[in-house]
Amino acid sequence: MKKVLSVIICVLNLAIAFTQEISREGLGTIYKTVVNDSRVNIRALPTTKSESLGFKNKGDVVYITGCSVNKENIDNYDGYWLRVSLTDRAEEYWNVKNGWIFSKYLDTDGAVEVSTFTVEKINPSTEQRIMSLDICANRGTSKKIIRVYPSKLPNQDFYTFTWSDDEKEFTYKDPVGTFIWYPSTNEIKHISYLGSSCESAWCLVTNDMKYLFQDYGTGPGPRGLGIFDIESEKLVYSAMYDDSLDYDGSNITIYKVGSDWAISQNRLTAEEIEYVSNFKNKNPLSAQQEEYIRQGLDVKVLIEYRLNLETLKATYRGCRYILTQ
C-alpha cells in the first residue's frame, strides 16, 4: 500500500512540475503545461487557416503567454487559442517567437476563460505625466486594476495601447496585443495580436485600420519603426522615424542614417551613398557641429523619404544633419 501511495505522490509531483503558473521578475505570469495529443499544429495566427509553424507531440512542454479574444468551437470543443512561446526557457523574453495552439490540445487548470477589459478611470495628462487609463481586468473570479498608457496619431478619435507578457501585471489568461480605446463610448476593442511595450514607446494604427506602426528603441531619435499589415500580421516595411511620427493619413515620413558604419555594413544602396556624398559636399559641417564632434558627440546624415502606404513606395526628399550621442 505504501508503495502504491508513493507512486501516486510521484505522479502528482510530476504533474505539478509540468503544469504550473510561473511568475517572472519584472514580467508577466505565464503557464507551463504539456501537449495532450500527437502532431498538434502550432499556428502562426489563432486560426486553423493560418500557416503551421510546426508540430508538438503528446507530453511536449510549452509555455502559455496569452490568449485569443474570441471563443471558438473546433473539433467539437468550445475553447480559445492559446499563445505559446517557442523557446524552452520560461525566463526568456527577448527575440522569442510565439505560435498558437487551440486549448483543447493543452493541459490547463480547468476551462480557460479569457479576461475582459473595462475602463475604470481616465487619468488626464499633466505637466509631470502623460495620460493613462486604469483598466479593470475581469479574470473570472478575480479582478485586477491595470494601468496602460494610450497613444494616438493627430486627428484620430481613438487611442491605442498594448498588453502582453512583458508587462508585470499581465497573466496568461489575458488577451494579448494591441487594443483601441474610444473615449466617446469608453469602448475597448482588440485590433491585433501584435504589439508589446518591451523596448517600445507605442503601437499606433492607421486611420483605415490597415497598418500598425510599432516603435522600437528607448533612446532619442532616430528610432526603429516597424510597419505591419494588421490582417496578416506580417512586417511589410522596416524603417526609422525621427522625433514624432509624420503621418497624414496616406503617407509617412521615414529615414535612413547615412553613417560611415551603415555604408561599411552595406546598409545603404549605391544611390543612397551618392545622396550622402553630394549632401556633404554641398553642406560642410559648421563650426558648431565641429565643436560637437570634439566634445564626443556625433553628427550624422539623415536620409529622408516619404512612404506611400497604398503602394509602399518611398520617394526621396533630401538629407540633413542630426546630432547624436
* pLDDT at site 129: 78
- Cα gap 299→297, rounded to integer Å: 7
Residue written as grid cell 503545461 = 33
pLDDT at site 275? 96
Dihedral sign, Cα of residue 199, residue 202, residue 206, residue 211: positive
Spatial distance between the Cα atoms of 181 and 119, rounded to a whole number of angstroms: 9
241: cell is: 522615424
For 62, other C-beta atoms within 10 Å of its C-beta total 26
d(CA 312, CA 251): 9
Residue 84's nearest CA partner among 71, 68, 101 is 101
- Residue 16: what pLDDT? 44
Q: What is the pLDDT along the chain (325 residues), one digit of tens a residue?
A: 544 334 333 333 444 446 788 888 888 999 999 999 999 999 999 999 999 999 999 999 999 999 999 999 999 999 999 999 887 665 555 567 899 999 999 998 666 789 999 999 999 988 777 899 999 999 988 899 999 999 999 889 999 999 999 999 999 999 999 999 999 999 999 999 999 887 788 999 999 999 999 998 777 778 899 999 999 999 999 999 987 889 999 999 999 999 888 889 899 999 999 999 999 999 999 999 999 889 988 889 999 999 999 999 999 999 999 987 6
- Residue-wise burial string across 141-180, b where 16 or more C-beta atoms lie within 10 A, e elsewhere: eeeeebebbbbbbeebebbbbbbbbbbeebbbbbbbbbbb
Task: Look at residue 93 in the predicted model and tell me its pLDDT.
Answer: 58
Q: How far apart are CA 258 and CA 320, in angstroms?
A: 10
101-127: buried (b, 16+ CB within 10 Å) or exposed (e) per residue? bbbbbbebeeebebbebebeeeeeeee
| Residues 298, 222: Cα–Cα separation, whole Å | 13
**pLDDT confidence of residue 8:** 35
